[in-house]
Chains A and B, each alone.
Chain A
Amino acid sequence: MVQFFLTAGCDSVGHAVRKSLLAAAWFVFLTFPLMVIKVNTIENTVVWRWENMGYVAVSIFLGSFVWRWLLARKELKEDNANEETSAEKLLTKVQSHPVLKYSALAVVALLAGLYPQVFDLYQTNIMISCLVYIVLGLGLNIVVGLAGLLDLGYVAFYAVGAYAYALCNMHWDIGFWYMLPVGGVLGTILGVMLGFPVLRLRGDYLAIVTLGFGEIIRLILENWGDVTMGPSGISNIDRPALFGVKLGITDSTIYMYYIMIGLLVFTIFCVNRLQNSRIGRAWLALREDEIACQAMGIDKVKTKLLAFALGASWAGMAGVVFAAKTTFINPASFTFWESAIILSIVVIGGMGSIRGVIAGAIILILVPEYLRDFAEFRMLLFGAIMVLVMVFRPQGLISAKRKIYKYNDTNTAGAANE
């Protein structure tokens, strides 16, 4: 085992050490200007940070062993690629056993229900944002995970939902519950408008167009000051009212929490049913092989558009919730980084897997909340992990499972054109 770790992909330990030394030297060279030198071009001073060189050398030297080991392991596994990790095995076991399944569900429901009673307002607020990200992740999962369309401007639909509620609330005093579905519909409409011209084309063009689109929406929000109030944003947005009664801060936060739980359950319900339906199968097939899919009678553009628009509608709804939760929004909440975070939730959690996306959101959102010191490294790590996941574990943390269908064996093969 140790032997395998040390010599993975090499002839001997000596060879491995030499390779790692070479990698370390290369990265020391690579990172030299950016990591070591810092200049001030106004005062013409230079700061040298030699210690960084040491950090880079050591971490690359050690890291390269891990890298080779992972690569070698991946090659070994190529033959039995669908092997489950022990965590996944446990999950499968729990799910396949009805008693275990329902008791696990009951425990989760109980914990979720009691959460705001047990924890304080601050914790509840963090949990609400985590829930918003889970919903966003599940929405994007329809687009990226199920249909295989890389949407890098998902935040645009989120922004539209948030601004729609904020503006309607400000001008016409329209309430949260009316705007929640409206936000979803607006997202859908925008998704269709953007998707229609682009989805006919090569898949990778979609990525760049959505990336541009996300930026455009943000620019419009920033520059169209007469309508959107520009960079200063919109404040004093109403929190949701309970049967027309406006609640205090504590109560409304708790209320918000339960609304989010409701929205999450609704989302899981819908996504789960969608992915195991005729439509969901068509999405998967389209992701796997577009040409074969079309040759089997599936309308490519229509099917893609459906996924894209449905994903957008969830972003629109989440946007409304976000505006109602924070009571203040400005364009800075809707930058590319937001799209990047949601995408990493889906990718790292497991594309196409509901459990994966939930786990991904909980880890990627809650961990940085509690490890504040490490907050500035958050996006750095997300980026790195995205690359690592793609290279070593493309199915993500918890991989999607295919549904096993129950069929009736009737012994009357054929009977075609009935």
Chain B
Amino acid sequence: MNNPVLNVKAVEKDFGGIRALDDVDLVVHNKEIVALIGPNGAGKTTFFNCITGIYTPTGGDVLIDPTAEGNPRRINGKKPNVVTELGMARTFQNIRLFPSMTALENVMIGTHCRTKSAVWGAISRNKATRREEQAVIDRSYELLKLVGLEKYVNDLATNMPYGKQRRLEIARALATDPFLLLLDEPAAGMNPQETLDLERLIVDIRDQFSISIMLIEHDMKMVMSMSDRIYVLDYGRMIADGTPREIAENPAVIKAYLGESDD
């Protein structure tokens, strides 16, 4: 049972001459919270894009093993929707909600790949469709409640406060039933209290849903206190990995962050 759920081997990504990711290895185990840190422009978001199918890696392998039973499958080159169906869901650094849909509908979209009703079901609105629809609505509402957004159920996403939009993105990603949740700077733009609440929420999600979580974050306090392991990316290369304590004492990491005024 100690096989990694996500195993990234020597992934590379070139953007016409610029190497944004170079020989990056990373593993995530079951029920782990793993943080990916690094200075601005290090390639963290690019890494997420490469493993979720938004970009195709130029080289290397991305392997997943949702049940951690030791039979991984290769997913690089697969389309983003297929990757999500296989169980990796993400949020975006620059929030990408569906602005003119309500909060509830945003979460309902997340359940799309786990439901089936099609054109005929929609038009005839038969029993199976109605049941599925109600289940989707109820589940989505539960998730909204979980992230503390029950007040905003029928508000348009675009009218919600910034911090709440980030939470809505998490609920939407959870609705896809992932085994691994990928969060891209979930605390960006939040005040210390909100950050603390978010930290609690993330740990809570991990415990309640028994899933793994990987997050990109600049807030060192949050990263240090909640992650099981940390990876450090700099100029597209993985310069260190280890427990929070190891990372805090790693000279290479300190060097990479020197001059960075982040905290």
**Which positions in A face B, CB cutoff 8 Å?**
82, 269-270, 273-274, 277-282, 284-285, 288-289, 291-300, 306, 310, 402, 404-410, 412-417
Interfacial chain A residues near B108, Cβ < 8 Å: 281, 405
Q: Determine whether B222 belongs to the interface, using a CB cutoff of 8 Å to chain A.
A: no
Could you tell me if A291 and B96 are in contact, using CB atoms closer than 8 angstroms?
yes
Q: Determine whether B104 belongs to the interface, using a CB cutoff of 8 Å to chain A.
A: yes
Q: Report B38-69 residues with CB < 8 Å from chain A CB.
A: 52, 54
Could you tell me if B142 and A413 are in contact, using CB atoms closer than 8 angstroms?
yes
Minimum CB–CB distance from B183 to chain A (whole Å) comes to 13
Could you tell me if B176 and A296 are in contact, using CB atoms closer than 8 angstroms?
yes
Q: Which of B89, B90, B142, B156 contacts A414 (CB 8 A)?
A: B142
Q: Which of A280, A297, A407 contacts B141 (CB 8 A)?
A: A407
Could you tell me if A297 and B97 are in contact, using CB atoms closer than 8 angstroms?
no
Across the A-B interface, give the 8 residue pairs with the lowest CB-CB distance, nearest first.
A297-B113, A277-B122, A297-B84, A292-B96, A407-B141, A288-B98, A294-B80, A416-B209
Could you tell me if A279 and B119 are in contact, using CB atoms closer than 8 angstroms?
yes
Please give 15 more A-B residue pairs, beta carbons under 8 A apart, in addition to A292-B96, A296-B109.
Answer: A273-B123, A281-B101, A281-B108, A288-B101, A289-B98, A295-B54, A296-B81, A296-B89, A296-B110, A297-B85, A298-B109, A310-B119, A408-B137, A413-B143, A413-B208
> Quick one: given A278-B133, A278-B136, are A285 and B98 in contact (CB under 8 Å)?
yes
> Quick one: given A297-B176, A414-B146, are A279 and B118 in contact (CB under 8 Å)?
yes
Q: Determine whether B250 belongs to the interface, using a CB cutoff of 8 Å to chain A.
A: no
Could you tell me if B154 and A404 are in contact, using CB atoms closer than 8 angstroms?
yes
Q: Determine whether B112 belongs to the interface, using a CB cutoff of 8 Å to chain A.
A: yes
Could you tell me if B81 and A294 are in contact, using CB atoms closer than 8 angstroms?
yes
Q: Determine whether B172 belongs to the interface, using a CB cutoff of 8 Å to chain A.
A: yes
**Which positions in B face A, CB cutoff 8 Å?**
52, 54, 79-81, 84-85, 89-90, 92, 96-102, 104-105, 108-110, 112-115, 117-119, 121-123, 125, 129, 132-134, 136-138, 140-143, 145-146, 153-154, 156, 159, 172-174, 176-177, 208-211
Could you tell me if A295 and B119 are in contact, using CB atoms closer than 8 angstroms?
no
Q: Which of B89, B99, B137 contacts A407 (CB 8 A)?
A: B137
> Quick one: given A278-B136, A297-B176, A408-B138, are A270 and B113 in contact (CB under 8 Å)?
no
Bound state CA distance, A402 and B177, in angstroms? 25
Minimum CB–CB distance from A174 to chain B (whole Å) comes to 26
Q: A411's closest neighbor in chain B, by CB?
A: B145
Minimum CB–CB distance from A35 to chain B (whole Å) comes to 41
Could you tell me if B122 and A280 are in contact, using CB atoms closer than 8 angstroms?
yes
Interfacial chain A residues near B102, Cβ < 8 Å: 402, 404
Minimum CB–CB distance from A38 to chain B (whole Å) comes to 48
> Quick one: given A270-B123, A295-B84, A402-B156, are A282 and B101 in contact (CB under 8 Å)?
no
> Quick one: given A288-B98, A410-B138, A412-B142, are A298 and B113 in contact (CB under 8 Å)?
yes
Minimum CB–CB distance from A187 to chain B (whole Å) comes to 15
Q: Which of B96, B141, B210 contacts A289 (CB 8 A)?
A: B96
Bound state CA distance, A296 and B121, in angstroms? 22
Bound state CA distance, A407 and B152, in angstroms? 13
Bound state CA distance, A174 and B140, in angstroms? 50
Could you tell me if B142 and A298 are in contact, using CB atoms closer than 8 angstroms?
no
Q: B175's closest neighbor in chain A, by CB?
A: A296
Could you tell me if B79 and A282 are in contact, using CB atoms closer than 8 angstroms?
no
**Can you show 28 pairs from A to B with CB atoms below 8 A apart?**
A270-B123, A277-B129, A278-B112, A278-B117, A279-B122, A281-B108, A282-B109, A284-B98, A284-B100, A288-B98, A292-B92, A295-B52, A295-B92, A296-B112, A296-B113, A297-B176, A298-B109, A404-B154, A406-B137, A407-B137, A407-B140, A409-B145, A410-B138, A412-B142, A413-B142, A413-B208, A414-B208, A414-B209
- Which residue, of B90, B109, B138, B172, has the highest number of chain A Cβ atoms within 10 A? B109
Q: A280's closest neighbor in chain B, by CB?
A: B122
Bound state CA distance, A409 and B153, in angstroms? 12
Could you tell me if B177 and A295 are in contact, using CB atoms closer than 8 angstroms?
no
Bound state CA distance, A136 and B90, in angstroms? 39
- Which residue, of A296, A298, A306, A413, has the highest number of chain B Cβ atoms within 10 A? A296
Minimum CB–CB distance from A283 to chain B (whole Å) comes to 11
Interfacial chain A residues near B132, Cβ < 8 Å: 278
Minimum CB–CB distance from A143 to chain B (whole Å) comes to 14
Minimum CB–CB distance from B227 to chain A (whole Å) comes to 22
- Which residue, of A282, A298, A410, A412, has the highest number of chain B Cβ atoms within 10 A? A298
Could you tell me if B138 and A407 are in contact, using CB atoms closer than 8 angstroms?
yes
Minimum CB–CB distance from B210 to chain A (whole Å) comes to 8
